[in-house]
Every structure is written in C-alpha cells, then in structure tokens.
Amino acid sequence: MELTFRLADDGADLPALVALYDAAARWMQKNGIAQWKPGEKNADHFRRRRSDGEVWLAESAEHLVGAFELWWQDEPAWGPQPPEAGYVHRLMVDRDRAPAGTGRAMLAHAERRIAEAGRPWSRLDCVSSNPRLRTYYEAAGYTVVGEQPFKEGTGGSKYAVTLFEKRLDR
C-alpha cells in the first residue's frame, strides 16, 4: 500500500472532502451507527478547519482515499488544556478505494505531525455508543481517559463521546 499525504487546499479539495464525509456518513447510517449525517458538513466547514487547524488528505494511485482533521485545541470536548496535544477529528476513508490499513496509516501520520510540533499527546474522541470504533482506537494504542456526555447548547458534540489519548515518542 502506497499512501501519500498532503494538506488540503481551498480549491477542488473542498468538494472532495464533503463527498468523502457524506459517503462515510451514509456508511455509518447503513451500519446502524448514529453519528454523522450526510449533508452535515459543507465546504465552509472544511475551509474553517483549515484556517484554525490542518486538514490532511490521504491519496493512493492518485485517488483521494481518506482524510482527517488535526486541531491544536479542542475545548468543547477536552476543556481548556495547555498546548501539549494535537486532536484528531473526522478520520474518514473511502471504503471503495482505500487500501487496507488506510485508517491506521492516517493515525500514524497525524501522530508524527503532532510529535513534530513538539506535543507529546495525540487525542481523539468517538461516539460512546460505538464499541467497534472504541476497540479500533484501543488497538492503535489509545487509552480511554474519560467520557464527555452530550450537553445541549455547548457548541460541542451532538452525542456523548469517549475521550482517548496516546503518549507519543519524540
């Protein structure tokens, strides 16, 4: 599997990100996972994420096969924190084109980027009602460090999430 990674731009990448998100959301719905909804994230969402974080694309054979967002703070889920972590969000793969292992490769890329920024922790969250995803992150070396219940009107998640972190080697 040969994957390349690059930062998303504001051109053709934004519609491709929206399409990737919508496909992942449809797959979740089809598989009984109540988390993402098609149409929930548009080009403006990914443009904003680029302006205050990073949006990474994974490509294989010149095709977009995955993407993720890397944030440098996440107060809605984690509260105020010192600058010691990077926060991985919206890890998504194209289930028709992505080679096996794409999700893990994207996590590893995010972890390298976080370590290069001098931060010792990679953090992420996932919907608490998805035990399969929880097992996936634990198998990737992440440890559960808390739960964040759904709190309406906080600007955070629209569902309860499990918080994970992983200590990175520098």
Under 8 Å CB-to-CB from 39, ≥6 apart: which residues?
22
pTM: 0.92
pLDDT band at 35 (very low <50, low <70, confident <90, very high): confident
Both tokens of 24, joined, read: 């992942």
- Cβ atoms of 95 and 44 closer than 8 Å: no
Helix 43-52 to helix 13-30 angle (10° resolution) is 110
Residue 9 in this model has a pLDDT that exceeds 80 = yes
CA atoms within a 13 Å half-sphere pointing along the CA-CB vector of 143: 5
% residues pLDDT > 90 (the chain): 76
Residue 155 in this model has a pLDDT that exceeds 70 = no
Residue 131 in this model has a pLDDT that exceeds 90 = no
pLDDT of amino acid 151: 60
Both tokens of 165, joined, read: 């972190």
Alpha carbon distance 125, 127 (integer Å): 7
Mean pLDDT of 16-31: 95
Both tokens of 117, joined, read: 């920024």
Mean pLDDT of 70-77: 93
Give the tens place of pLDDT for each residue, 87-117.
999 999 999 999 999 999 999 999 999 999 9
Q: Which helix (H) or strand (E) holds 157?
A: none
pLDDT band at 170 (very low <50, low <70, confident <90, very high): low
